[in-house]
Structure 1
């Protein structure tokens, strides 16, 4: 199975050198290139790559800022001449980090990691436009960055044009509205329980009757979320209650 890859780097020679090195890996299909963050976001949305090789330091928005604009994040291998970014890249759980000039041996190690990642995360998607609990996205909150698996997100909470993301002991804000998230999240995994919240169905521990015909959900972490009266009807049908 071919892995669709996009190379994002503002330097043409660097893109050409990486393409040359990737010729030794026939499973990688290079579907495009981008030389800045704006072009990268457009190409990612258009080409839907499985993997991106991403230079961190670019004119305008850097690689971390570019990732924070995406709703869904492909697998990422960072490529950069600046080793000071290495620790940060691994803090956000990137697939790998390659320092320029890229050595063929290090690229081979990265490809092995990619192969292991692919074999442990196979899924047949019904609709590629919808995000399931197998997908991940990038969160940047100040100096902190994470790749977050949607399976680990128990709750999204509306905060105007932003949404608060609840995972582990973190609650960072992302620049996406709850309505925009609802359009992209697969209802088999995520449900809009009221005007302010979307819940990960797999995190529900208890369901109780609540005021005025609604329901009260208790999540595995002990958090309680109300299901509105209107959404309770739909929720009961969906959950066969």
Structure 2
């Protein structure tokens, strides 16, 4: 990254962008390289303009700032701007992300920029952005892949499988996301009432289990809704998980 942060302002209120531009003038490390006030204009701006930092409003004409996350590369920093949506603010807090409440003050902006400048610039170890507090089933977790950043509802995660320093998320809609984050990090932040380890390399969400059937030898298979593939575990592991299965109301599925 260069000495200055190439910065985009995305907000559907012209006066809000003007005020943010005024406040940023006192920060020489910031170079504003573009602005947008609608969802379509923001998409074009994000596609055509190299940037390191984006101030992203949540409410935009034509949609939500969340709709743009898949257009923001993993190396770029995001500071969300909101007029206070409790659900959105919770998402930012549990993912250790920064956000500004309107009206933005100079002191709060300065604090946010300090945090941005101190943040890692590598494309993406999601472990460094691990949740600031344990996630709840209704939360959304920020996931960075090799080419995009997005919020994923915790309840949509079916399984998390380790692949060395990476993990693969299997989502309920059959999508798979590979992210640079360890299984241990996921296990520490996902809701323990639902997510259990069925294998040294695999966590599953009990809310998505539809059946537990005998497999080959001493193995059993956790089955999910089609077209998701089953996942195997040892019968001993299932026995160790009996209390967790009882709490989830799944003992009737035991083979």
State TM-score, norm by structure 2: 0.52
Quote the residue 1:194 is aligned against: none
**In structure 2, what is the Cα distance between the partners aligned to 1:13 and 1:144?**
38
Q: CA deviation at 1:93?
A: 3.4
How far residue 116 of structure 1 moved from its aligned partner, in angstroms, is 1.1
Corresponding residue for residue 42 of structure 2 = 40
- SS, match of residue 33 in structure 2: strand
Q: Cα gap change, 1:4/1:160 in structure 2, threshold over 3 Å: closer, same or farther?
A: same
Distance 1:78 1:160 in 2: 27
Q: Once superposed, what is the RMSD of the aligned Cα atoms?
A: 3.4
Change (3 A) 1:71 1:113: closer
The count of corresponding residues between Structure 1 and Structure 2 is: 157
Residue 69 of structure 1: how far off its partner (Å) = 4.7
Alpha-carbon separation, structure 2, partners of 1:56 and 1:93: 17
Alignment of 1:94-133 (within 5 A): 94=97, 96-117=98-119, 120-121=120-121, 133=124
1:21-70 superposed Cα distances (whole Å, 9 cap, x missing partner)? 00000100000001122222221221121000010112222111221354
1:137-176 equivalent positions in 2, closer than 5 A: 137-142=148-153, 153-155=166-168, 162-165=175-178, 168=183, 169=186
Unaligned runs of 5+ in 2: 127-143, 157-163, 188-198, 203-255
Q: Could you tell me which of 54, 57, 63 is aligned with 1:55?
A: 57
Structure 1 spans left out of the alignment, 5+ residues: 124-131, 146-150, 171-219, 224-241
Does the 8 A contact of 2:55 with 2:78 survive in 1?
yes
Displacement, 1:115? Answer: 1.7
Q: Which residue of 2 aligns with 1:7?
A: 9
Q: What whole-Å deviation, never above 9, does each CA across 1:78-103 have from its counterpart, x for those lacking one?
A: 11112423222223332x11111100
Deviation track 1:94-126 (CA, whole Å, cap 9, x = no partner) reads 2x1111110001001011111211xx43x6xxx
Match of 2:96 in 1: 93
8 Å contact kept, 1:72–1:138: yes
Give yes or no for contact 2:46–2:71 (8 Å, CA) kept in 1: no
Shift in alpha-carbon separation, 1:64–1:221, aligned structure 2, 3 A: farther
Does the 8 A contact of 1:68 with 1:140 survive in 2? no
Partners of 2:91 and 2:171 lie apart in 1 by: 28
Task: Select the structure of larger CA radius of gyration.
Answer: 2
CA offsets per residue over residues 179-212 of structure 1, 9 Å max, x none? xxxxxxxxxxxxxxxxxxxxxxxxxxxxxxxxxx
Taking structure 1 as reference, are residues 153 and 35 closer, same or farther at Cα in structure 2, changes over 3 Å only? Answer: farther
The TM-score with structure 1 as length reference comes to 0.54
